[in-house]
Structure 1
Amino acid sequence: MQKLIKLKDDFISIASLFTSISTLLCCALPSLLVAIGMGAVVAGIVSEFPALIALSKYKEWTFLGAGLLIGFNFWVFYGRKKNQVCEIDEYGNETACDTAARWSKIILWISFGLYTLGLFSAYLLLPLQEFLGI
């Protein structure tokens, strides 16, 4: 049962990273490139990867899904983790549980950083530029 829970937690970590990367690619990166005058690059990316159009069309849902997954992953890692302690091996070495927990934490924070960058670029960058007159 413990192995099934660990597998589910690892899946959620990877899914949150994937969704945060998809929000960055669909919504944040094109907005940022257009804002700095690289619209032709965006046109080339969209012509190579037409699925980005669908993600951009539903960017509110994409951001909502990514945010929910990342939030749930924070709850899994920090909220429930108090009850789950990795076993210490007899030699004091890092166990597989410790390694998985360390990588889950790294993936979680990378996901959060990418999501924050995407949120800023997709929803706040243009109003900020208009406010500053840039």
Structure 2
Amino acid sequence: MTSIKNSLVNYLTLFGSMSTLLCCALPALLVSLGMGAVMAGLASNVPGLIWVSENKATVFIFAGVMLSLNGFLIWRNRNAPCPIDPKLRDACISGRKFSSRIYFVSLAVFLTGFFFAYIAPSLTA
């Protein structure tokens, strides 16, 4: 049951951080590259993108809470014992490494979205 919770938290963390990237970093990148028409077409074909952009504070809070929870779970389980069976032990170790990689990718995506949502607009003003 614990591995189901951990994998669910991993996927929710990745989903939350990717939504921050979609709401803030992608539009800024497209507009800065002169692809405003592409962004307008994307916004008209993906209506959920506008909702995510309008509610970016909620999206960032959700993603931050999920990242914090996932980071705590990874830190708490870093020295947890793995099974003695070599195949299960290898699966346990590779699962931990994969979870850590997903976490750090999610954290990088979250920080990129945070930069474009809150820091970059104040730099251009």
Asked if TM exceeds 0.5, the reply is yes
Do the aligned partners of 2:82 and 2:89 also contact (CA within 8 Å) in 1? no
Change in 2 beyond 3 A, CA 1:106/1:87: same
Counterparts of 1:105 and 1:55, CA distance in 2: 27
Deviation of the 1:87 alpha carbon: 2.7
Unaligned runs of 5+ in 2: none
Corresponding residue for 2:74?
77
Structure 2 counterpart SS, 1:121: helix
Change in 2 beyond 3 A, CA 1:129/1:36: farther
Corresponding residue for 1:109?
104
Do the aligned partners of 1:88 and 1:95 also contact (CA within 8 Å) in 2? no
* CA deviation map 1:17-66 (0-9, x unaligned): 01111110122211232244332121011112111111111110001000
Q: Give the count of matched residue pairs.
A: 125
* Displaced runs of 4 or more, over 6 A: none
Deviation of the 1:127 alpha carbon: 1.1
- For the pair 1:96 / 2:91, whether they are aligned, the reply is yes
Select the residue among 104, 119, 128 that pairs with 2:123: 128
Taking every aligned residue pair, what percent have the same amino acid on both sides? 38
* CA deviation map 1:61-101 (0-9, x unaligned): 001000110111000001x115522234358x952111211
The two structures have a TM-score, normalised by structure 2, of 0.89
Corresponding residue for 1:58?
55
- For the pair 1:34 / 2:31, whether they are aligned, the reply is yes
- For the pair 1:5 / 2:5, whether they are aligned, the reply is no
- Alpha-carbon RMSD across the aligned residues, in angstroms, is 1.9
Do the aligned partners of 1:16 and 1:69 also contact (CA within 8 Å) in 2? yes
Structure 2 counterpart SS, 1:84: coil
Determine which structure has more spread, i.e. the larger CA radius of gyration: 1
Counterparts of 2:117 and 2:33, CA distance in 1: 14
* CA deviation map 1:78-132 (0-9, x unaligned): 1x115522234358x95211121111011100000000000001111121123xx
